[in-house]
Amino acid sequence: MTIAFVDGRVFIGDGKILEHATVLVDGERIVKVAQGNVAVPNDARKVSLAGMTLLPGIIDCHVHLCLDAGPDPMTSLIKESQSMIALKAARFALQTLMAGVTSVRDMGARHGVDLTIRDAIRSGMIPGPRMLASGQMICMTGGHGWQMGREADGPFEVMKAAREQIRAGADVVKFMATGGIMTAGVEPGSEQFTEEELRAGIQEAHKAGRKPATHAQGTQGILNALRAGIDSIEHGIFLDEETISLMLKKDVPLIPTLSAPYNIENKGTAAGIPDYAVDKTLRVKPFHLESTRMAHKAGVRVAMGTDAGTPFNVHGENLYELKRMVEVGFSPTEAIQSATQIASQVLGLEQELGTIEEGKLADIVVVEGNPLEDVDILLKSEAIQLVIQGGKLVKGEW
Ligand SMILES: [Zn+2]
């Protein structure tokens, strides 16, 4: 059956906005996008968009469905059974979808639980966003994220670790180029994998047609990853002129994940977040905000990612990241574009997702009012009226 969305504001995803537009969906695909009234099949289900805005399904480029967003999720994670981690992840996947997030890229899970969740969603067994999964993140021995990662040292082992993730079914391979916040005893600014180690792993990912991504916070680690041929920079806390110009030259996107430090600072040690995580966050946060501003101003492609699952960075509150982006100078339109068109490019799915265009998969969110003027609208769950994934209604009523 054809679904006809009529008389509404449509955000295409590339920055363009149509008013009083019609969008036709047939099966799982968008078949028509037009300004004004167009011929609608008689038996089509008509959905009026009066007072609403239709957006492409939101894409979160950086989540961890294995982390529970408690005060110390890494420590609680290693105490939990593999089956409990998977059950919780299934629940978090549903919460994420209900927020209008129809696709995610999972950036690393203990035991590679994200691979199982992805397959369960793909087969229709459980509801959740379309997922690209990375399996276990690859880090140096004792490096950031070792609690949930595959430790590897030296180019040969990093290459082997990448091959293991690909064998297990990873869509993306994640490498840890620097220290981070949530691991005790490592510094966000410190270099971890060397350029040679990163190059060995990145080549393996590219050979297998996968996009490698890197957790990269310190300047030297970011530089190593860029020189080694990485496809995206996650966090990018200490960017400088050199790293930004290299990102522009190589067209490498930044996924800042502003929600992660925001929530750690906001809740603090009083909420049970470990001292070391709060201390590190307070030290690096001004640099992180400034780096994001610089990258945005310089014209680096910035994609939305939350790092959902980190302390109080709750699955299903993903769209708060858009507010964080607006706070550092993005317009609401730019922020939403970063979570649709640009995010689809980061996933390598720009032919299928990310914009409202004929031929694309019908991943659609219909929201009350106009989030292109006020992005805060997207933070209210009742404002997310309809969530459609591949032409199927997964939230709301029509
Ligand atoms: Zn992360």
Q: Could you read off the pLDDT of 214-232 as tens digits, one per residue?
A: 999 999 999 999 999 999 9
Going from the Cα of 52 to the center of ligand 1, the distance in angstroms, rounded, reads 33
The per-residue pLDDT for 36 is 83
Residue 137 pLDDT class (50, 70, 90 cuts): very high
Q: Which CATH number fits domain 2-57+354-395: 3.40.50.880, 3.40.980.10, 3.40.50.300, 2.30.40.10?
A: 2.30.40.10
271 Cβ contact list (under 8 Å, min separation 6):
71, 311, 312
Mean pLDDT calculated for residue range 101-127: 97
The per-residue pLDDT for 37 is 78
Say whether pLDDT at 345 is over 90: yes
Going from the Cα of 107 to the center of ligand 1, the distance in angstroms, rounded, reads 6
How much is the CA Rg of the chain, to the nearest whole Å? 20
Ion ligand 1 neighbours, Cβ < 5 Å = 107, 307
Say whether pLDDT at 27 is over 90: yes
Going from the Cα of 159 to the center of ligand 1, the distance in angstroms, rounded, reads 21
Q: What is the pLDDT of residues 270-316, one digit of tens each?
A: 999 999 999 999 999 999 999 999 999 999 999 999 999 999 999 99
The burial of 14, by beta-carbon neighbours within 10 Å (0-12 exposed, 13-18 middle, 19 or more buried), is given as middle
Q: What is the pLDDT of residues 29-54, one digit of tens each?
A: 999 999 987 889 999 999 999 999 99
Percent of the chain with pLDDT over 90: 97
Residue whose C-alpha is closest to residue 195's, from 230, 163, 241: 230
**CB-based contact 61:255 (threshold 8 Å):** yes
The per-residue pLDDT for 267 is 98
Going from the Cα of 179 to the center of ligand 1, the distance in angstroms, rounded, reads 12
Q: What is the pLDDT of residues 140-190, one digit of tens each?
A: 999 999 999 999 999 999 999 999 999 999 999 999 999 999 999 999 999
Going from the Cα of 63 to the center of ligand 1, the distance in angstroms, rounded, reads 6
Q: Is 49 left (phi over 0), alpha (psi -120 to 50) or beta?
A: alpha
The per-residue pLDDT for 375 is 97
Going from the Cα of 177 to the center of ligand 1, the distance in angstroms, rounded, reads 12
Going from the Cα of 305 to the center of ligand 1, the distance in angstroms, rounded, reads 9
Going from the Cα of 277 to the center of ligand 1, the distance in angstroms, rounded, reads 14
Say whether pLDDT at 1 is over 90: no
Annotate 223-245 with b (16+ C-beta within 10 A) or e (fewer). bbbbebebbbbbbbbbbeeebbe
The per-residue pLDDT for 128 is 98
Q: What is the pLDDT of residues 201-213, one digit of tens each?
A: 999 999 999 999 9
The per-residue pLDDT for 15 is 86
The burial of 36, by beta-carbon neighbours within 10 Å (0-12 exposed, 13-18 middle, 19 or more buried), is given as exposed
Q: What is the overall mean pLDDT for the chain?
A: 97
Residues of the chain with CATH 3.20.20.140: 58-347
58 token code pair: 């939101």
73 token code pair: 């999720």
Residue whose C-alpha is closest to residue 298's, from 218, 240, 339, 214: 240
Going from the Cα of 202 to the center of ligand 1, the distance in angstroms, rounded, reads 18
Going from the Cα of 26 to the center of ligand 1, the distance in angstroms, rounded, reads 36
Residues of the chain with CATH 2.30.40.10: 2-57+354-395
> Alpha carbon of 365 to those of 72, 187, 216, 361, 371: distances in Å?
32, 39, 32, 13, 12
**CB-based contact 104:96 (threshold 8 Å):** yes
Going from the Cα of 139 to the center of ligand 1, the distance in angstroms, rounded, reads 13
Q: Does domain 58-347 have CATH number 3.20.20.140?
A: yes
Q: What is the pLDDT of residues 361-371, one digit of tens each?
A: 999 999 999 99
